[in-house]
A and B are shown apart, each in its own frame.
Chain A
Amino acid sequence: MELTDEPMAEMACTVNGVPVRTRVPLRQSLVDWLRHGIGLTGSHVGCEHGVCGACHVQVGGRVVRGCLMLAVQVDGEVVETIEGATASGRIRALQEAFFARAALQCGFCTPGMLLQAAELLAANPDPSRTEIREALSGNYCRCTGYHAIVDAVEAAAARLRA
């Protein structure tokens, strides 16, 4: 829905490998645009001020808070969401480990956890449990108490090294 007097901007980017050209409200966050503009609802909106990590997406190959970037700022950028990361298979080991270890209950934090854990394992294939906790320190989970999540990342790392 566009309000008639809402300031808009032209924007073109690539989302999950697909080129997108569109108009976005200037003040719309990246995660709101992904969800409401193009229907990618795997990125979740939690705190909307950069604390909870549920909105994590990749921009230019780095994990960022989707609530702390404007949609207009990804003009010219390559964006990947949990949908793209899932389709490519690049986070499959983590997803299977999260399932096997019951590292999620409601699932609200899981997309953000998976993307952040994948960035950790790409840089550090054999992280300690402390390093896993530090990497995920900006991702809140209100269900699991985190232990199962740390277990799952550790197990996925071991499987990827094997």
Chain B
Amino acid sequence: MKPARFGYARPDTLDGALAILAEQGVEAAILAGGQSLMPMLNLRMARPGLLLDINRIPGLDAIALSGGVLTIGARARHAEVLASPLVREAAPMLVQALAHVAHPAIRNRGTLGGSLALADPAAEMPACITALGATLVVASARGERRIAAETFFLGVYATTLEPDELVLRVEIPAISPGWSHGFHEVARRHGDYAMAGLALALHREGSRVVEARIAFCGVEAATRRQAEVEAVLVAQGAEAACAALAGLDAMAGAEVTAAHRIHLARVLLRRALGQA
């Protein structure tokens, strides 16, 4: 199991990388952590003409908290995000979720930006940044643009990212007083792909939920804000929200049926509302 031949470029600057993407973006695969790309190369499920290694570009892995916004560089490794006191303070949901992401050696290489750009429907990070109301900042030789996380994910391995664009960083509003974060998941074994995962942020007054942000992973083909479920939760409470999950467009597969994914989503929501 060896990869097919590819070209390889390892630019030292962002401009260098964007110039390559402008010219060869359709043929290129961006190599950040490589923890999903390298298996696909080894299995020859992917055969890009060029690997664009972004590991030498300075500044892509910074984590900062300023003015109520947590900024995480796209190449920040999962292990760095997990260990960051700034992330723990401003976005505790990410810390809870990253404990479910693969295994230590994978987390030492895998990156936040890579997980978002890949858009695996079972991945935890897309659901988290959607529920957190984050914004992706992406760049191409044409300039920068900002994309709301809740509009970024289109389907299985599909996003609104253009072939010449690179994710630079993610901006996450820091958790506000009165809000709580939760992440819950069911997988066959710890670290395996989620059969269903739930990211939620809740604003309570007393015991009543007055505002909610909810996203799932491993349930629908693309993670999204569950606006209907959020509205039902706020208006009618937990049991009605769990019932509203019947409307999910759950993925069906040989191993996990759509009905079972909805069942798991309901279990997770009930569990989260009991705890969060």
Interface, chain A (partner B; CB < 8 A): 6-7, 9, 26-27, 29, 32, 48-50, 53, 56, 62-65, 67-70, 72-73, 116, 119-120, 133-135, 137-139
Is B24 on the interface with A (CB-CB < 8 A)? no
The closest CB in chain B to the CB of A32 belongs to: B2
Closest to A48 in B: B1
Which residues of B line the A interface, CB within 8 A? 1-8, 31, 34-35, 38-39, 41-43, 51, 53, 55, 79, 102-106, 108-109, 189-191
10 nearest CB pairs, A to B: A138-B103, A49-B39, A68-B38, A62-B108, A48-B1, A27-B3, A137-B191, A63-B105, A26-B8, A50-B39
For the complex, give the distance between the alpha carbons of A56 and B4 in Å.
23
Tell me if A49 and B43 are in contact (CB < 8 A).
yes
Pairs A–B under 8 Å by Cβ, sample size 5: A50-B35, A62-B108, A62-B109, A133-B190, A138-B191
Q: Are A72 and B8 in contact (CB under 8 A)?
A: yes
Q: Closest CB-CB distance, B265 to chain A, in whole Å?
A: 24
Complex: chain B residue closest to A62, CB-CB: B108
Q: What residues of chain B lie closer than 8 Å to A7, measured between beta carbons?
A: 5, 7-8
Determine if B1 and A65 form an interchain contact, defined as CB atoms under 8 angstroms apart. Answer: no
Q: Does the CB pair A134–B190 fall under 8 Å?
A: yes
Query: DSSP class of A's interface residues: helix, strand, loop or mixed?
Result: mixed
Chain A residue nearest to B1 in the complex (CB): A48
Q: Which residue of B lies closest to A61 (CB)?
A: B108
Interchain CA distance A134-B100 in the complex, whole Å? 10
Cβ distance A115 to chain B, nearest Cβ, rounded Å: 9
Residue pair B4, A138 in contact (C-beta under 8 Å)? no
| Chain B residues positioned under 8 Å from A64 (CB to CB) | 105, 108-109
Q: Are B6 and A26 in contact (CB under 8 A)?
A: yes
Best-surrounded residue of B5, B53, B55, B108 (most CB of chain A within 10 A): B108
Q: How far is the CA of A139 from the CA of B104 in the complex (A)?
A: 10
Report A-chain residues with C-beta under 8 Å of the C-beta of B39: 49-50, 68
A69 close to B109 (CB less than 8 A): yes
Known: A27-B3, A27-B6, A48-B1. A137 touches B189 (CB 8 A): yes
Whole-angstrom distance from the CB of B102 to the nearest CB of chain A? 7
> Which residues of chain A are near B34, meaning CB under 8 Å?
68-70, 73
Q: Known contacts A27-B41, A29-B42, A73-B53; can you find 10 more A-B pairs with CB under 8 A?
A: A7-B8, A27-B5, A49-B38, A50-B35, A62-B108, A64-B108, A68-B38, A70-B34, A137-B190, A138-B106
Q: Do A53 and B3 contact each other (CB < 8 Å), given the known contacts A48-B42, A138-B191?
A: no
CA A45 to CA B272, docked complex, whole Å: 41
Q: In the complex, which residues of chain A have a beta carbon less than 8 angstroms from the beta carbon of B3?
A: 27
**Complex Cα distance A144/B271, Å?**
35
Within the complex, what minimum Cβ distance (angstroms) separates A46 from chain B?
11
Which residues from chain B contact A6 at a C-beta distance below 8 Å? Answer: 5
B146, chain A: closest CB distance, angstroms: 31
- Report the separation of the CA atoms of residues A67 and B109 in the bound assembly, to the nearest whole angstrom: 12
Contact present for B53 and A65 (CB under 8 Å): no
**Contact of A73 with B103 in the complex, beta carbons under 8 Å:** no
